[in-house]
Amino acid sequence: MLDSLYIAWRSVSFNKAKTAPLVVCVALILALPAFLHLLSQELERQALSHPVSVPATATGGATPVVVEAAPSGSESGGSTRSSGDAGRPAVNAGGVNRLIGSLFFIVVAVVVLLLGLALRVSLLLRAKEMFALYKLGCPRAMMARQVVLEVLMVALAGGALCSVLLLVAHYYAGGLVDVLIGL
Amino acid sequence: MSRTVTVERRRRLRLDDASVEPGAFDRTFIRIADLEFRYGEDGFRLSVPGFTVDRAEKVAVIGPSGSGKTTLLNLIAGIVTPLTGSVSVDGVEISGLDDEARRRFRLTEVGIVFQDLGLLDYLNLFDNIVHAYRLARALKVDKGVRARAEALAQGMDIGDQLERFPHELSHGERQQVAVCRALVHRPRLVLADQATGCLHPTEKDRMLSLLFRSAEVYEATVVAVIHDHDLLSRFDRVVEMQDLGAWENTRA
- Find, among B224, B243, B221, B227, the residue nearest to B73 by Cα: B224
Alpha helices in A15-92 (DSSP H): 16-48
pLDDT in tens, A121-179: 777 777 888 888 888 888 878 888 888 888 889 889 999 999 999 999 888 887 877 77
The low-confidence residues of chain B, meaning pLDDT below 50, are 1-5, 7, 14-18, 22, 252
pLDDT at A161: 94
Instruction: Identify the pLDDT of residue B59.
Output: 93
Q: Give SS3 for A81.
A: strand
The reported pLDDT for the residue numbered B45 is: 86
Question: What is the model's pLDDT at position B88?
Answer: 92
Mark which residues 93-152 of A lie under 8 Å from B by CB: 128-129, 131-140, 142, 146
Instruction: Residue A5: list chain B partners with CB under 8 A.
Output: none
Q: b/e per residue, B75-114, with b = 16+ CB within 10 A?
A: bbbbbebbeebbbbbbbbbbbbbeeebbbbbbbbbbbbbb
Strands B28-38 and B58-62: unpaired
Rounded to whole angstroms, the Cα distance separating A31 from A25 reads 10
Torsion (CA) B69, B71, B75, B80 in degrees, nearest 10? 170
pLDDT greater than 50 at residue A71: no
* CB-based contact A139 B100, cutoff 8 Å: yes
Residue ranges per domain, chain B? 2-248
Mean pLDDT across chain A:
73
Determine contact: A1 vs chain B, CB below 8 A. Answer: no
Q: Work out how many CB contacts closer than 8 A connect A with B.
A: 68
pTM of the model: 0.72
Q: What is the pLDDT of residue B204?
A: 83
C-beta separation of B177 from B169 below 8 A: yes
What kind and span of H or E run contains A104? Answer: helix A93-125
According to the model, what pLDDT value does residue B42 have? 75
Partners of B102 on chain A (C-beta within 8 Å) are 137
Q: Which residues of B touch A10 (CB under 8 A)?
A: 122-123, 127
Q: Is the pLDDT of residue A74 over 80?
A: no
Residues of A in contact with B134 (CB under 8 A): 3, 7
CA-to-CA distance for B47 and B247, rounded, in angstroms? 6
The confidence score (pLDDT) of residue A33 equals: 78
pLDDT digits (tens, 9 = 90+) for B82-133: 999 999 998 889 888 988 889 888 888 899 998 888 888 888 999 899 887 7
B107: chain A residues, CB-CB within 8 Å = 136-138
pLDDT of residue B3: 47
Q: Is the Cβ pair B112, A135 closer than 8 Å?
A: yes
Is residue A83's pLDDT more than 60?
no
Q: Select the residue of A10, A132, A137 nearest B122 (Cβ to Cβ).
A: A10
Other beta carbons within 10 Å of A16: 9
Find chain B residues with C-beta within 8 A of A135's C-beta: 77, 79, 106, 112, 114, 118
Whole-angstrom Cα distance, residue A12 to residue A14? 6
Does CATH place domain B2-248 in 3.40.50.300? yes
Q: Supply the pLDDT for residue A163.
A: 93
Q: Are A3 and A145 in contact (CB under 8 A)?
A: no
A95 falls in which pLDDT band (50, 70, 90)? Answer: low
Closest CA in chain A for residue B124 = A10
CA distance A80 to A82: 7
List chain A residues with CB under 8 Å of B120. 129, 132
CA distance B79 to chain A (A): 6
* Segments making up each domain of chain A, as ranges: 2-182
Amino acid at A100: I
Q: Residue A104's pLDDT is what?
A: 72
Of residues A10, A14, A137, nearest to B103 (C-beta): A137
pLDDT the model gives residue A128: 80
The pLDDT value recorded for residue A82 is 44
ipTM of model: 0.76
pLDDT beyond 80 at A55: no
What's the order of all strands across the beta sheet hosting B84-89?
B92-93, B84-89, B28-38, B45-54, B246-248
Interface test with A, best of B116, B121, B122 (most A CBs within 10 A): B122
Q: Give how far B135 is from chain A: nearest CA, Å.
A: 6
Local structure of B239: helix, strand or coil: strand
Confidence band for A72, pLDDT divided at 50, 70 and 90 = very low
Confidence of residue A77 (pLDDT cuts 50, 70, 90): very low
Residue of A nearest to B127 (CA): A7
* pLDDT above 90 for A30: no
CA distance B13 to chain A (A): 12
The pLDDT-based confidence of A87 (bands split at 50, 70, 90) is very low
CB contact under 8 A, B135 and A133: yes
Residue B62 to chain A, least CA–CA distance (Å)? 22
DSSP-derived letter for residue B5 is H
Min Cα distance A23 → chain B (Å) is: 19
- Give the best residue of B103, B141, B181 to mutate against chain A (max A CB count within 10 A): B103
